[in-house]
Structure 1
Amino acid sequence: MVDVVAPSRRTKRDTRLRTLALISAAHWVSHFHMLVLPMLFPFLKTALNIDYIELGFVLTVFAVVSALTQAPTGYLVDHFGARKILLIGLCLGGASLGLLGLHLSYPVLIASAVLLGLANSVYHPADYAILAAHMDEARMGRAFSIHTFAGYLGGAMAPMIVAALMTSLGGITALMVCGATGPLVAVLLLAFDVPEAGENRRKDASGHASQRSIITPTLILLTIFFMLLGLSTSGISNFGVVALMNGFSASFSTANVALTAYLVASALGVLAGGFLADRTDRHSQVAAICLGINAAVLLMIALVTLPPALLTMTMATAGFLGGMIAPSRDMLVRSAAPEGAAGRAFGIVSTGFNFSGILSPLLFGWLMDQSLPRWVFSISALFMVLTVVLALFTERKREPDNARVGTV
């Protein structure tokens, strides 16, 4: 019996590892593609002879389209299958950059932002639906953390990859090469047979597909939770360097080192948070504790002018605590999602991040325009306090009829 069972277990484990690697690769592309256009702004400004406000409008279009299409895409994932939608998203994102490389003009740049926004709406609903269906229940938190870490890595690698391509091959070729990563990963997903998820709509007693709405109070609270969480971190990521330079007399190099420490520690915190999420079912309390400590850390940065070494260490602490929240955050959504509706659930709550992406530049940019750089950290801390309060109301246990019957 042992000789029969052991190979079966190894096969399941290998399938899960392969699935996690493939979905993480897709998430890497997601974050990489999000930063390709911003990294090419100097080239696009010169090539198209446009102003920065016109370039900023491109990012606004991307954020608005992503926000409006996340929830509908979640429905498509559950209705038609996550694998199919994910493959379409990867190819669509690649095509948007390739199209701009072939026809470089401002109208095509706007169209590229629209297509990138549509592609971006695919990843969270499709990725999490597949992971929720096929990962080992006991290691779900770690699976979510590795997936999130891959996205962070894609964003971190984008500047140096785009810069290298731009320097050696030029802007047009950089667009084409960066766009090719989407279809290339789609081919990998097909070649290594990433499993399907979704398309298993629950049926009622009469045998018809259930039309029960999944928009519950818990998911609404989680959407607001995601928005507040995005607002609490995006200000530091986007305006941290200029805030430290203008409000704390930090040099450019000191501010950049501090922000780099913050971002690297965030990625490491995500991995640590995955282990923690697998060892407790009190995910809301984990999020609340990490957020509460982090708010105190940010408030200290806002109120006290720290020497460079201590500033870097404090920023790293804030980043690590912020990263630790991510796996518990995702576990909260998974617990709140009805069976067979993971795509829709993650699609709905992810709109919170999109809304924060729209509001954050306006709010924190206004603070900088008002010569209030220390308030970048104070307001971020305030959003974290609000998130702590909300976190304590976001956890809902699955009802018995929604209990999982096993994993593949």
Structure 2
Amino acid sequence: MSFSSLRTLPREALVVLSLVSGSHVVNHMHLVLFPPILGVLATEFDVTIATLGFAMGAQAFINTAFQLPFGYLSDTYDRTLTLGLCLVLGGIGALVLAAAPTFEWLLVGQILLGVGVAGHHPAHYPLLSDATTEANRGRVFSVHGFAGNIGFAAPPVVIVAVSSLDGLNWRHAFALIGAVGLLYAVLAVVVSLRYVPASVRRPNGPERPDERSQTPSLSSRLRAGTRALLDSPTILALGLLALVASTAMWGITSFVVTLLEQGYGVESSTASLTLSVMFGVGAVFMLVGGDLSDRFAPAPLIVGSYALVAVFVLLLASFVLPPSAAIVTAVVAGSVGSLSTPARDKLADVLSARADLGRNFAVVTIGIMVGSTVAPPLFGVLIETFDFRVAFASIAVVALGVVGLIVAIVARWGDEYGIGEVTVSGD
């Protein structure tokens, strides 16, 4: 890989990359608090795996519902405000989960987390895009994605480490994660206001509503936003692609620990730490994908990575593997899709005008979050109704759906945007 161009980034660009990468770590920690301890939560709150799947889906639904409002806030007012608000809400949500006395309070905590997570991508990507150039944007996006995967990897390690201490359990681990999120919110806002230029923190579009002679009504803004979306079929298609890809990957993320425990007989702590390894390997794949996305067109990268996801998930679903091989296969199945993430992000950037970056990345994130809303209850019900074999075979089919969608996108828009060629650039 060649990341030498990142060393030449101006100071404000490095500050932005550092801030949003740290925010991405916190953001993704909040997204995967449940999967490492589904069995523990099911026992403590006397609920089924499917019920916990619906709770995870509730968080993702709220996250989805708030994407466009936060995209509007980011595109119209201030990206630092968006970032700080979401970090605070996410931290509070984690603290509510830590103190939850009943399953109903778990839902409240999940809802707060959903709101908190929602504003990160609509703030992150416009900040990154405005602070960098197209020549190194794929690598910058991959560093951002790498940080996100570190965030995914952290909760299992934190939960196992904290729970191993005398008198402590998962609640103390959740409280620690929430407190870290709140402290980072203060740090991110202070550093952003001091070191990031207003030209990066503020929107690229028309002047803010308080600077206009007449402020459009909310209904007119909603109509205009809806018309703009309907006039952007490529962004809608990319949102659908993100939805299908997210459904496959969140199916793996949500249930691979219980698959290893109940299906392959892997010890609980080992299965939880496998989730961390999976995301750690995914972080490395993210960096590789960032370099490749600056050298090659996005479509072949997406096709190749999700074809591999399907193959390795089918191996898991076959139950022909010994436990040690199942662990390795699970790591690859849940990580190799990360190769394509920078390509997808760069594709969204290429298809966007500067004034609609927040909105368009919100659309892509809506796709991601709809997938994460659908996957836990869908595959949880398949596990409860049938078994792990059926559920994970279904995940493989969904992963192949990503391949079919990107082929269709290239057939429709490949020549117009140059997204289908195998090679487009090099160092």
Equivalent residue number for residue 180 of structure 2: 181
CA distance in 1, matches of 2:104, 2:323: 45
**Distance of aligned partners of 1:267 and 1:58 in 2 relative to their CA distance in 1, 3 Å threshold:** same
Contact 1:243 1:368 in 2 (8 A): no
Aligned to 1:199: 203
CA contact 2:75–2:357 (8 Å) conserved in 1: yes
1:225 to 2:241 alignment:
yes
Instruction: Say which SS state the counterpart of residue 199 (structure 1) adopts.
Output: coil
Amino acid in the other structure paired with 1:146? V
Structure 1 residue 70 displacement after superposition: 1.1
Residues 1:264 and 2:280 are matched in the alignment? yes
Which residue does 1:77 correspond to in 2?
74
For residues 105-144 of structure 1, give each alpha carbon's deviation from its aligned partner in whole angstroms, at most 9, with x where no partner exists.
7665544332221111011111111111112322211111
> What is aligned with 2:210?
none
SS state of the match for residue 378, structure 2?
helix
1:115 aligns with 2:112: yes
Q: What is aligned with 1:51?
A: 46
Write the deviation string for residues 46-83 of structure 1: whole angstroms up to 9, x where unpaired.
9xx84325766543432221111112211111011211
Task: Describe how 1:299-318 pairs up with structure 2 within 5 A.
Answer: 299-303=314-318, 305-308=320-323, 310-318=325-333
Counterpart residue type for residue 299 of structure 2: S
Alignment of 1:165-176 (within 5 A): 165=162, 167=165, 170=168, 174-176=173-175
Number of residue pairs aligned between Structure 1 and Structure 2: 384
- Give the residue type in structure 1 aligned to 2:131: H
Q: Percent identity?
A: 28
Decide whether the 8 Å contact of 2:95 with 2:178 is kept in 1: yes
Larger mean CA deviation between 320-329 and 167-176 belongs to 167-176
Deviation at 1:361, TM superposition (A): 2.0
Q: Distance in 1 between matches of 2:113 and 2:326?
A: 36
**Separation in 2 of the partners of 1:160 and 1:174?**
10
Q: CA RMSD in A?
A: 3.6
**What CA distance in whole angstroms lies between the structure 1 residues aligned with 2:7 and 2:379?**
50
1:12–1:360: structure 2 CA closer, same or farther, 3 Å change rule?
closer
Query: Which of 343, 348, 358 is matched with 1:333 structurally?
Result: 348
Asked if the contact 1:290/1:322 (under 8 Å) is kept, the reply is yes
Tell whether the 8 Å contact from 1:246 to 1:373 is kept in structure 2 after alignment: no
Matched, 1:94 2:91: yes
Query: 1:390 maps to what in 2?
Result: 405
| Matching residue's letter, 1:228 | V
Residue correspondence of structure 1 range 278-289 to structure 2 within 5 A: 278-280=294-296, 282-289=297-304
Aligned to 2:369: 354
Deviation at 1:277, TM superposition (A): 0.7
Partner of 2:3: none
Q: Is the 8 A contact 1:92 1:119 kept in 2?
A: yes
Q: Residue 251 of structure 1 aligns with which residue?
A: 265
Structure-2-length-normalised TM-score = 0.77
Question: Bigger CA drift: 303-312 or 110-119?
Answer: 303-312
Contact 2:54 2:377 survives alignment (8 Å): no
The alignment partner of 1:341 has SS state of helix
Aligned to 1:61: 58
Separation in 2, partners of 1:144, 1:261: 21
Match of 1:132 in 2: 129
- With 151-160 and 79-88 compared, the bigger mean Cα shift is at 151-160
The answer as to whether partners of 1:97 and 1:178 remain within 8 angstroms in 2 is: yes
Please give the alpha-carbon distance, in whole angstroms, between the structure 1 residues aligned to 2:274 and 2:9: 42
**Structure 1: which 5+ runs fail to align?**
1-8, 400-408
* Cα drift, residue 390 of structure 1: 0.9
Shift of the alpha carbon at 1:243? 3.6
- Structure 2 SS opposite 1:329: helix
| SS of residue paired to 1:52 | coil
In the TM superposition, residue 278 of structure 1 has moved relative to its aligned partner by 1.2
Tell me: CA distance 1:175–1:296, structure 2 relative to 1, closer, same or farther (3 Å): closer
Map of 2:337 onto structure 1:
322
Give the match's secondary structure for 1:337.
coil
**Structure 2 CA distance, aligned partners of 1:200 and 1:373?**
48
